[in-house]
Chains A and B, each alone.
Chain A
Amino acid sequence: MATKRRGGLGARRKGNMEVKAVVDLGADSSDDDVPEEVTFEKAKADAVRSMRNALETVKRDKELLKEKRRKRQELFQQQKKRKLLSEDMLVEIESAYTKKGKPLDSEEQEKEESEEDSEEEVVNARLKESYKAVRLKDQIDANTRQESASDFIRSRLYGPGTNRTTTNQMLSLKNKTGNNKTAAVQFVNKNWGSENKGKAEKFKKRWVHSLTVVAN
């Protein structure tokens, strides 16, 4: 409807322009003039034209959309085809497989079957007692669920928002508020300065040795 109006407006504008030109010419005449006469046929023609235009634009839009959709569908199909093996390859593989199977004699077939059986038996025996077939996916699922559950507990007890402090602070607090008030606790890192300590030890050994040499 909007298009119709637009079309209509545009058509009327054109018509109006013409009319206006005519009117302007006659604008010199007074304002009390009777409005100009537009014939019924002209108006009818205008309306019909505008409706036709509107219908045409709608049709055009629909067609454009259809085209777009078709193109997209084709693109998807092409991508899918690319993913799957080409038909030719499949045909080749199948033929090769059947070719293998076809020229077997009955004897050879029996041998193959028995081999398969024995293989199965061997496989069964292998899998019997010490091994268990487990789906990896289940194991991974169970592990992730267990981890998320323990993460939940950890975050509730130690996560952000919980007021936790360090063991150092707790022990220092005990020292400061106890009966004999002592200084805060300081944890010493035994690995600190290990190189320097090693050098000092070696120097001490050398120095003691030099002293004994001098003494002798």
Chain B
Amino acid sequence: MGEFKVHRVRFFDFMPSGIRCMAFNSKADRLALARLDGSVEIFNFSNNYFQEKVIPGNDSRSIEAICWVGCDRLFTAGLNGEVVEYDLERLCPKYTLDAFGGPIWTAACNSEETHFAFGCEDGSVKLFEILPDKIQFERNLDRQKGHSVQRILVDRGPAGTRNKDCVVWNVAFLSDYTIVSGDSAGKVQLWDANKGTLIKTHLVSKWDVLSLSVSENEDSIVAGTSEGTVVQFQLLSPKIGDTETQWVRTRTFKHHTHDVRAVTETRTAVVSGGLDTQLVICPLMDKVEVKSSESVLRKVIFPHRSLVSCAKKPSLLLFQFPDQLELWRLGGTDTIGKPGESLPVTRKPEKLLQLKRKGDDHICCSTISECGHWIAYSTVSSIRLYQLQCDNNNISITKVSKLPKVLRSAHQLQFSADSSKLFVASEQATIHVISVSRSECKHVHTFKPKSDVFLPTGSSAPVHLLAASADGQWLTSANRHCEINVYNLKKLKHHCMVPVYNSLPSAMAIHPETNNLLVTHADQQMFEFGIVDKQYTDWSRKLQKEGLHRCRLKWGTPVTHITFNPQAPSQVILHDMHMFCIIDQSLPLDGLKAQFYSQLTPKDTSETDKPRKNNALKICNKYQPLLHVNLLEDDWLVVVERPLIDIHSQLPAPVRQKKFGT
């Protein structure tokens, strides 16, 4: 098993955006991250650092500071002078408020969470009062009128750099009246707030110190620099047994290649992000108690969902960018080669269509139908549906203008297997079923999530996964509260709910023949649920008892797509960022303890290697980093890779480091 011809696709120019600021909410164990394109992402740290929610960006929004209030309210402020509160259930901005002070450079919330302070361009600090459903302007602290206690001058830096003014990028005020400042000369300085004097200077780098963060119990400070290093300072006593403590520079991490513009500290790790677009979670080994998933260095590079849709019959790929969609037809080859050989491309892949979005909001989801005739995408403010006609060399696209009024925005879109219906997952976890045809689009039905004894109103968490069965009878949806609902399309009502497993589902698919729902979760567990029987299948129970091989569980990145092989109904193909694997449900599982053999080529096998062949799990990590893996007809596999060096080559300029001997 596992012999395919592979379309190796590397023309998806996926370019993530740099990280600008972040805030950690220790009560909810979630990290909110803001990127340079205005998008906000929320990572759930207790759920294997899964990217739980993504609020798409906006061309006019710029974010300079992000702040949590309580467990579930998120605010950002930016250079356009506006304060935005986000609705984390509908994944869009709730309202924007102009602070009327020019560009806002920084924001802070007090520890009782009653007031917000914004530092504006005109030199004033504006105080806002936090009310249950909005914030209200309270007063203005002007530059001259406010009671200035001390005026501290930061000196320019070591000789040689005195030509430029020193810009203080960050300031932190500790409860023992110590001020910590990070500036553009690369110094982290500690000041006494009562006397206005300098206590200690630490020269951390030759370039700017761009970000500073203080831990919750104020015993550790982390600073991020322009050259990509993250430096930690800890409050320690220099001599053992001495009660006097000092801030001592302890650790230096270099996990980034470009400027680190955001750092924060959790209880057990240092989280940093910068212009190289990667989020790095580095565990602090003296705080980690148990050897678990917490003690591993993690880098989040790709989003935890699929940005590629595939129309299998016409071999079309739809790529989703924040500002446009691109439709490509796969190329082809006429030669038949030997296993392991790379075949010459006779028909080049062609870009058929580039569809730019209208308006400022970025695209949040998109899909293409199986037959390749319908394309749909959605932003936070609108949904658009297009009909595509593609006869050999002529392509025409027409927009479907009259969409049912009930469609406003979507969190997820999916066409049915016969391309006659479009499923739109909207706010409040409702799913609208729209029938699409050449003549008109009609709203057929709206599914609402099942209300429970425990949740009388039904969960309103946003839906992030949709799966439709091949025979058009079943539809499943997964939402951010880890609930999976199954709907009957023929009878148009709710069928059942899969037992809730505490980890977020990362990918889901319905088997075309057996109608079993296969779900993978953020903690790498996999379940198979029989829809018709309304219970877990025997294979799933066996899997839970014996477990797949242990190296499967070590994967840091979640599975983003599951697909099936029409030629071999017992095979399941899933992939994450670093590998794709085939699980054969008819072969026996090896269990956690067994030795893992990976087959390189089918010709390798000999008669004595029978036990090897019978392994259910086969992994291939030849193609990475992966964005999408899908199976086309005739044993063709399409693999969409995005080499990290291509992303690297388009990043902004890094600092010049002079190394000896080069």
Residues of the A chain whose Cβ atoms lie less than 8 Å from the Cβ of B653: 158, 164-167
* A127 interface residue per 8 A CB criterion: no
A145 interface contact, C-beta 8 A: yes
Do B649 and A187 have beta carbons less than 8 Å apart? yes
Q: B657 is contacted by which of A142, A173, A176, A187 (Cβ under 8 Å)?
A: A173
With A157-B259, A164-B655 already in contact, the answer to whether A149 and B226 are too (CB < 8 A) is no
Dominant secondary structure of chain B at its interface with chain A: loop
- Does B167 touch A at the CB level, under 8 Å? yes
Residues of B within 8 A of A170 (CB): 257, 654, 657
A167 touches B654 (CB 8 A): yes
Report the minimal beta-carbon distance from B652 to chain A, rounded to whole angstroms. Answer: 7
Task: Report the separation of the CA atoms of residues A190 and B317 in the bound assembly, to the nearest whole angstrom.
Answer: 23
In angstroms, how far is the closest chain B Cβ from the Cβ of A171? 7
The digit string for A131-166, where 1 denotes a CB below 8 A from any CB of B, is 000000000001001100110000011100111111
Residues on A with beta carbons closer than 8 Å to the beta carbon of B257: 170
By a CB distance below 8 angstroms, the chain A residues around B102 are: 145, 149
Q: Which residue of A lies closest to B662 (CB)?
A: A176
Contact B656 A163 (CB under 8 A): yes
| Complex contact A165–B645 (CB within 8 A) | no
A171 lies within 8 A of B649 (CB): yes
Checking B121, B184, B206, B656 against A164 with a beta-carbon cut-off of 8 angstroms, the contacting residue is B656
Residues from chain B with Cβ under 8 Å of A165 in the complex: 653-657
Question: Total interface residues on B, using CB and 8 Å?
Answer: 31
Contact residues in B for A163 (Cβ distance below 8 Å): 206-207, 655-656
Does A169 lie at the interface of the complex (its beta carbon under 8 Å from any beta carbon of B)? Answer: yes
Contact of A146 with B80 at beta-carbon distance under 8 Å, contacts A164-B653, A164-B654 already known:
yes
How far apart sit A168 and B653, CA to CA, in the bound complex (Å)?
9
Chain B residue numbers with a CB within 8 Å of A166 are 653
Q: Closest Cβ of chain B: how far from A68's Cβ, in Å?
A: 45
Closest Cβ of chain B to A204, distance in Å, is: 13
- Residue in B645, B648, B650, B653 with the greatest tally of chain A CB atoms within 10 Å: B653
A156 and B652 contact, Cβ closer than 8 Å, known pairs A146-B103, A149-B121:
no
How many Å lie between the Cα of A63 and that of B138 in the bound state? 63
- A157 & B226 in contact (Cβ 8 Å cutoff): yes
Q: Cα distance A159–B645 when bound, in Å?
A: 25
Is B164's beta carbon under 8 Å from chain A? yes
Question: Total A-B residue pairs with C-beta atoms closer than 8 Å?
Answer: 65
Interface residue B489 (Cβ < 8 Å from any Cβ of A)? no
Q: Is the CB of B62 within 8 A of A177?
A: no
CB B626 to nearest CB in A, in angstroms, measures 22
Shortest distance between the CB of A187 and any CB in chain B (Å): 6
Supposing A146-B103, A173-B662, A177-B659 touch, asked if A157 and B208 sit within 8 A by C-beta, the answer is: yes
Question: Which residues of A sit under 8 angstroms from B80, Cβ to Cβ?
Answer: 142, 146
Contact with A along B54-84 (1 / 0, CB 8 A): 0000000010000000000000000111000
Residues of A within 8 A of B105 (CB): 149
Counting CB contacts under 8 A, is B651 at the interface?
A: yes
B163 interface residue (CB < 8 Å to A): yes
Query: Are A167 and B651 within 8 A (Cβ)?
Result: yes
Binary flags per residue of B625-654, CB closer than 8 Å to A gives 1, else 0: 000000000000000000001001111111
A202 → chain B, closest Cβ, in Å?
A: 15
Chain A residue nearest in CB terms to B649: A167
- The answer for the CA separation of A177 and B207 in the assembled complex, in Å, is 22
Chain A residues near B163 (CB, 8 Å)? 161
Q: How far is B102's CA from A166's CA once the two chains are assembled, in angstroms?
A: 34
Residue contact B659 to A169, C-beta cutoff 8 Å: no
Q: Are B79 and A146 closer than 8 Å at their CB atoms?
A: yes
User: A1 vs B515: C-alpha distance in the bound complex, in angstroms?
Assistant: 116
- Chain B, 196-213, CB within 8 A of any chain A CB: 206-208
* CB closest residue in chain A, given B101: A145
State the Cβ distance, B178 to closest chain A Cβ, in Å: 26
Bound CA–CA A146/B207 (angstroms) = 25
Give CA–CA (A145, B80) in the complex, Å: 8
Chain B residue with minimal CB distance to A161?
A: B164
Instruction: Tell me the nearest residue of chain B to A165, going by C-beta.
Output: B656
B163 (CB) vs chain A CBs: closest residue: A161
Residues of chain B with a CB closer than 8 A to A187's CB = 649
Chain B residues within an 8 Å CB radius of A169: 656
A5 smallest CB distance to B (angstroms): 55
Other-chain contact of A145, B103, B207, B259 (Cβ < 8 Å): B103
A149-B121, A176-B662, A187-B649 given; A142·B656 CB < 8 A: no
**Considering the complex of A and B, which 5 residue pairs feature the smallest CB-CB distances, nearest first?**
A165-B656, A149-B103, A164-B653, A163-B656, A149-B79
Subset of 8 A-B contacts with CB under 8 Å: A145-B81, A145-B102, A161-B163, A163-B656, A167-B648, A167-B649, A168-B649, A176-B662
- A residues near B (Cβ < 8 Å) are 142, 145-146, 149-150, 156-158, 161-171, 173, 176-177, 187
Question: Hey, which bits of chain B sit against chain A, CB under 8 A?
Answer: 62, 79-81, 102-103, 105, 121, 163-164, 167, 184, 206-208, 226, 257, 259, 645, 648-657, 659, 662
Known: A149-B103, A163-B656, A166-B653. 12 other contacts (CB 8 A): A142-B80, A149-B105, A150-B62, A157-B208, A157-B226, A165-B655, A165-B657, A167-B650, A168-B649, A170-B654, A173-B659, A176-B662
